Structure formats: structure tokens, C-alpha cells
Amino acid sequence: MTAEGPPLELLLHRLAETPPDFLTAPVIGNTGAVHTAAVVNDLLRMHGAPDIENGIAELTNSQDANRLRLALVLSWLLADETILALHRPPGEVLAAVLTGSAELGGFVQARNAVDNGERREEVVRTTLEKLSLRPLGENESFARDRLTTLSTAERTRVLAASREAEARARAIREALAKKAAEESADKWSRE
Amino acid sequence: MNDAPPSDADRYPLITGRGRAMLKFLREHPAAPIYRNESGNRLTADDLSKVSAFDAEVAAHAPAWSPGIPPDWLADFIASCLRDVPRYRSYGFTSAALEDLPTVSRADLSRDIAEFVPDPVPIDRLIQFSTTGTTGHPLRIGSHPTVAAGYLSFHRRALRHFGIELTAGAGETAVVLVGFQRRCFTYVSVTPQMNEAGLAKINLHPADWRDPGDRARYLDALDPEMYTGDPVSFAELATLPLTTRPRALLSTSMTLLPGLRRQLETHFGCPVIDVYSMNEAGPVAFSDGITWHLLQHRMFVEILDESGNRLPPGHRGEVTLTGGFNPWLPLLRYRTGDHAALIYQDGQPQLTGLSGRPPVRFRSTSGEWLNNIEVTHALGGIAISQWTLHQAADGSLTFHCAGSPDHQALLAALTGLFGQTAAIDIHPGAVFDGKVIQYTSRLDPLSQSS
């Protein structure tokens, strides 16, 4: 976060207006509609990449739909003209997409990255941080503290939900295991 | 969760004196079989009103959609799955077109069924149905007494197609579920939504009876309005000297050939209805002898190719289900492993060419590849209840079947298909115990060989 980037508000506004195409299902195997690697490649060309970056294969091979959708959202964000004007090396931009989407993927649903105010801010700040940037007008310690606050709260919430989900799954498994086969309820026919 | 074994109060919460009298009659008749287990309807008053409402809903709504125009409930169903079901939520969508979503297989359900139970549904009265199937993926399905009771609503829909309205009530036996295997879960119960008419699940295997002659005596005493079973148990039922006749037979679990169906219909003087049903989805469709009519008004059917692409009407592929009536297992693109084509008749989606498991290819003596469904069709006129066909690497064929069907007719059917010079070994009198892998071929790399 050593350098100042664009104003936070401007990027939050851009994220809130992410076109629906960037939230379309990414291609995984035979399903989905948008090739994430192709979109990211377009972004890198906008940042001046002459060739396809090697690291992009990570997106082609990923089976994680949410991570791929976040990569699409980050591609939209990083195509803002204020970021293009910074002339960052394409390799750094790609690294920001890859590490940003991977890091956020476990905690932030792509849809929330656009629709939810706090998650939008987390996504913008995380993406800037991957480029060693902080929002315009903020000092480094404030920017770091704010990102930590946002991400810690979300991780705590997600981990609690995950523990709750695991407890319920365990209860369901135990409930099913306790019921003796067919000592259940009347069906008029059997399969 | 109560660890104590269920009591009669758990099994029959609404039972009255009439119901108790029916249970006593079913259990204590002098010719009764040895009932080996206990089970019940488990329906509370609140459940019963839900079951009645569901029955009216099923009666009032037919499955309906057109090519390219999905049913109106589908988008909301998909959204609720993506929001509430842990497995589907992990896809990372809040809404999506069905064809953009991944498919789910029996192996996925088998791996961890808990992932498929929605967050909002209570689990304090969860029940389970287990199935081993023939795919090597044993399944334990979460369900509920109201879901189990809901089967009857779909049976009634199928029966209505044949002009039959069930009328059994207090003091009468509504249904006997017949099995014919070495080990079988057997019990008696009553059906509250039919005024506590009796239900008996029995095994026709002589080992379950004090005297094999008791089988006919007992069933005549029960005089059930309907029997449900499979082709094997019905073939055995037809050997009994029954003097009573049901109003319908409902067959599930195994392929029912037209020849056996006709024979059973003639013998019992009533319709024999073949129902396509599975633990994961319940009764999906019934056959009118030509096509399969879908039963569930909140079940959407797609036909997919091996790569998961949706096939157009008339093309055969894997039957894939979305929706259902079990809130404890909402299905979102569930690949059943069964194959059929979807067609539209009078504006209604129907299935044709339905057969279980992926197609197996056999080679005729002329080198032509034959789909296993052609074998099923060729055998259609012969009254056999269960069979297997295996093709060895040298092209020779081994056919095992239950009972003693007409050898010449069988040979003619098979040589008509495979060629007059085909090497075919026919082994009648085979004893199968439960479902079998019907078709295998060493020549087809996709086939599981026995």
C-alpha cells in the first residue's frame, strides 16, 4: 500500500455498476457461458500485454465457480481508466486477479462483491492492496486498518456460519444413521 | 432425537379402535405370514392435513411445460436451492439458468447426503430410505412421513388414467405390497388418509409362511383393492390359486415386459401399471404401454448427453431431474443413470424408450451394433419377469431368465435380432435376489462386464 491509487468512491461506484455479463456463469467443463481466462486476457491487453500471460492457465483449469466469477468482477474493476492510467505491468495485474480472486473466493460470494456495500469495499481495498496501492487521500496505516476490519468481520461471520453448517450436517448424518433401514414410514410401493 | 425403538404410538399416532382392529386382523389371521418387522405411517394430525392438501394439489395439476418454455415454478425453485442447500450454495450463484448449473450424480448423493438437505427444513422427524441399487453407490435418503405418504397421491394420478379411483376404507385392505425374495422387510400398517384401510407388506417366498398354501388363503381373506410389487413378485402372485381379484397391479423396480404385462392383465382381469420410481425422486412416470406419462407437477425433466448438454426432443439420453416433492432432498439437475427420450404429446412432456442404466451395445453376427433397448423390445412378447444377457469377447451370448418361458420363442427373438448363426446359450430357471445388472458386454467398452 505504498502508493496512492484512485479515489475509493470512484471504484466502489464502478463495482456497483458491474455489467451483468461479468456475473454470468463462468465456463467449467461443459457448463457456463463466459470464458474467464479470455476476459482476463482482454484486461491484460488493455494493460499493454503483448502476449498471453502464462499464469492465466490457472483460471482455465479452475473448477471453483465463485473464484472464477470473482476473477471476472476484478477484471471489470481493473479495467477502470484510472487504473489503466497507472501503467502497471500486466504481470502484476494478472497476479492481482489471481491472488485477489483466490483469497476472496472462500469468503465473499461474487454477487455480494457487487451488491453488498461492505463487501464491495473489501473487494476494492483488497484489489488495490494486491497492486500495493491505497485509496487516494488515505494514509497507509488507515488503509491497512480499514481492510483488516472489513475482512476480519467477514471471515469471523463466514467461519461461524461454516461451523454452524458443519454442526447441522453432523446432526443430519447422525439422524439418518440412527434410523434402522426401512423402519421409516409407509410408502405404497418400493423401489 | 429419541434413541428408544419406535413404539406403536410413534408408528401410528392417529390410530383409532378401527385401525387397531385392522392391524390385529392383518397380524393374527390364521393364515398370516411370519411378519418379521414393524413400521407405520407416522402421520400426525398436522401431517394428515398436509397430505390431504398435497393429494388435492396433485389431482389438480399436471406436469406441463413446452420446449424452450420452462414451468413457471422453476426459477424460484432454482433460487431457493442456490440459497438454502449447502451443496448448491457452493456453486456461488444466487440465480442461474438451469442449463448453466452443474449436474449431480448418485455418487454425489452417496458421498454426503447431508449437503443436500436445505437449511430451513426441520430434522427432528427425519426418516430415511436406504437403497443399494446396482451402481455400487449405496444411498441413504433423508425423507419425512408426509413424503412417504405422498407416494399414494401419485399412484392415484396413475390409476385415474386407467379410470380407477381407490375406494377402500375402514375394515378393508387397501394395498398389499408383495415381494418375492429370500429376505424381505415385512410388516402391517393402516393408511389414515383412507380411513385406516389396511396395508400389508409381505414376502411370497415360502420361507415366510407356515404353509405355502396360506399365501392364497391369506390374500383372499385380505382381498386388497390393489397390489404393488415388481415383475418377479407378480409372476409368483399369478401362480397362487386366488379367488379374489384386485382392481389394479402397480409394478416398480424392474423392467416389465409387454408379454408379462398382458399375461398378468389377463390373469387378474385388471390394469397392470408400470411405474418408473426411485428413492431419490419417488414415482416419476407411469407407462400407458406406449409412452411414459410424467407424474409430478413440480418435477422438470431434461435429457442430457454424456457431456451434460441438453438434448432436443426425441433424442435419447440420460434422464435428469429437477424439483420433486421431497423438501428434504430437492433435486437440481440429478442425473438418474436411466435413459429415455423426451417428447411432447398434446402439449404434455412424456418419456419414450425408457431403460435403466446407461445403454449397453451388443454386436450382431453381421457386425451391426445393437442398443440394449432393442433386446428389450425383441423380448417384449415373451412372458418373462427377470433376465440378464451377457455378450462375451468372442460375440457369444448367455441369457439367464427366471421361470421356464417358451424356449423356441426366446431363441427366435434373440436370433431374429443377433442373426440366425449367433451362438446363444439360454439358461431358464435362474434365481435372482433383488435387482441385477441386466445387460453386460465384453465387446462394449462402456459396459460393466460381469
One-letter identity of residue B227: Y
The residue ranges of chain A whose pLDDT is under 50 are: 181-182
Q: Give the separation between CA B35 and CA B6, rounded to whole angstroms.
A: 17
Judged by a CB distance cut-off of 8 A, whether residue B39 touches chain A is yes
Judged by a CB distance cut-off of 8 A, whether residue B335 touches chain A is no
Shortest CA gap A172–chain B (Å): 6
**Nearest CB neighbour to A186, from listed B40, B99, B123:** B40
Is A191 in contact with B252 (Cβ distance < 8 A)? yes
Quote the DSSP letter at residue A31.
B
Judged by a CB distance cut-off of 8 A, whether residue B35 touches chain A is no
Helices (H), chain A: 8-16, 36-46, 57-61, 65-78, 81-84, 90-105, 110-115, 117-130, 140-178
Q: Are A172 and B114 in contact (CB under 8 A)?
A: yes
Q: What angle do CA B403, B232, B320 make, to 5 degrees?
A: 130
Tracing cell 454425489 back to the chain, one arrives at B108
Q: Give the separation between CA B1 and CA B247, rounded to whole angstroms.
A: 41
Q: Give the separation between CA A83 and CA A11, rounded to whole angstroms.
A: 10
Shortest CA gap A158–chain B (Å): 13
Three-state secondary structure call for residue B304:
strand
Quick one: which H or E segment has residue B216?
A: helix B214-222
Q: Tell me how long chain B is.
A: 450
Of B328, B442, B349, nearest to B389 (Cα)?
B442
| C-alpha separations of B253 from B246, B247, B342, B405 in Å | 20, 20, 21, 21
A/B interface, count of CB pairs below 8 Å: 142
What is the dihedral sign for C-alpha B329, B331, B337, B340?
positive
Number of Cβ within a 10 Å radius of residue B11: 22
**Nearest CB neighbour to A111, from listed B94, B152, B309:** B94
Is B123 in contact with A175 (Cβ distance < 8 A)? yes
What are the pLDDT tens digits along chain B (450 aa)? Answer: 446 778 888 899 999 999 999 999 999 999 999 999 999 999 999 999 999 999 999 999 999 999 989 999 999 999 999 999 999 988 877 788 899 898 999 889 988 999 999 999 999 989 988 776 555 567 889 999 999 999 999 999 999 999 999 999 999 999 999 998 877 889 999 999 999 999 999 999 999 999 999 999 999 999 999 999 998 899 999 999 999 999 999 998 778 888 999 999 999 999 999 999 999 999 999 999 999 999 999 999 999 998 889 999 999 999 999 999 999 999 999 999 899 999 999 889 999 999 876 667 899 999 888 878 788 888 988 888 888 999 999 999 999 998 888 999 999 999 999 999 999 999 998 887 666 778 888 887 555 433
**Nearest CB neighbour to A165, from listed B1, B86, B309:** B86
Judged by a CB distance cut-off of 8 A, whether residue B177 touches chain A is yes
Q: Give the separation between CA A118 and CA A123, rounded to whole angstroms.
A: 9
What b/e sequence results for A148-175 when a residue is b if at least 16 CB atoms lie within 10 Å of its CB, and e otherwise? eebbeebeeeeeeeeeeeeeebebbbeb
Q: Give the separation between CA B177 and CA B431, rounded to whole angstroms.
A: 21
Q: What is the pLDDT of residue B435?
A: 65
Which residue in chain B has the smallest CA separation from A27?
B100
One-letter identity of residue B49: S
Show Cβ contacts of residue B333 under 8 Å, excluding neighbours closer than 6 positions: B98, B101, B102, B103, B104, B302, B320, B321, B322
Is A189 in contact with B177 (Cβ distance < 8 A)? yes
Is B145 in contact with A69 (Cβ distance < 8 A)? no
Give pairs for B404-412: CB < 8 Å, separation 24+.
B404/B428, B404/B429, B406/B382, B409/B381, B409/B382, B410/B379, B410/B382, B410/B384
Of B311, B307, B309, B319, nearest to B351 (Cα)?
B319
Quote the DSSP letter at residue B449.
P
Q: Are B319 and B354 in contact (CB under 8 A)?
A: yes
- Joined together, the cell numbers standing for residue B66 give 413446452
Chain B residues with CB under 8 Å of A179 CB are 126-128
Three-state secondary structure call for residue B54:
helix
Is B1 in contact with A25 (Cβ distance < 8 A)? no
Q: What is the pLDDT of residue A174?
A: 87
Q: Which residues pair with B129 in a beta bridge?
A: B141
Q: What is the pLDDT of residue B270?
A: 98
Q: Describe the crossing of helices A117-130 and A8-16 by its angle, rounded to 10 degrees.
A: 120
Q: What is the pLDDT of residue B423?
A: 95
Q: Tell me how long chain A is.
A: 191
Q: Give the separation between CA B5 and CA B16, rounded to whole angstroms.
A: 22
Please state the φ and ψ torsions of residue A95, each to the nearest 5 degrees: -60, -40
Shortest CA gap A65–chain B (Å): 6
Q: Are B356 and B338 in contact (CB under 8 A)?
A: yes
Q: Which residues pair with B201 in a beta bridge?
A: B177, B187
Q: Which residues pair with B316 in a beta bridge?
A: B341
Judged by a CB distance cut-off of 8 A, whether residue A178 touches chain B is yes
Tracing cell 500486466 back to the chain, one arrives at A90
Shortest CA gap A123–chain B (Å): 16
- Joined together, the cell numbers standing for residue B418 give 443377433
β-strands B397-401, B424-427: how paired? parallel
Of A43, A15, A39, nearest to A27 (Cα)?
A39
**Nearest CB neighbour to A66, from listed B40, B92, B144:** B92
Chain B residues with CB under 8 Å of A189 CB are 151, 155, 177, 228, 250, 252, 275, 277, 283
Chain B residues with CB under 8 Å of A30 CB are 307-309
What is the dihedral sign for C-alpha B307, B254, B251, A185?
negative
Q: Are B34 and B208 in contact (CB under 8 A)?
A: yes
Chain B residues with CB under 8 Å of A101 CB are none
Tracing cell 484486461 back to the chain, one arrives at A43
Quick one: which H or E segment has residue B83?
A: helix B74-84
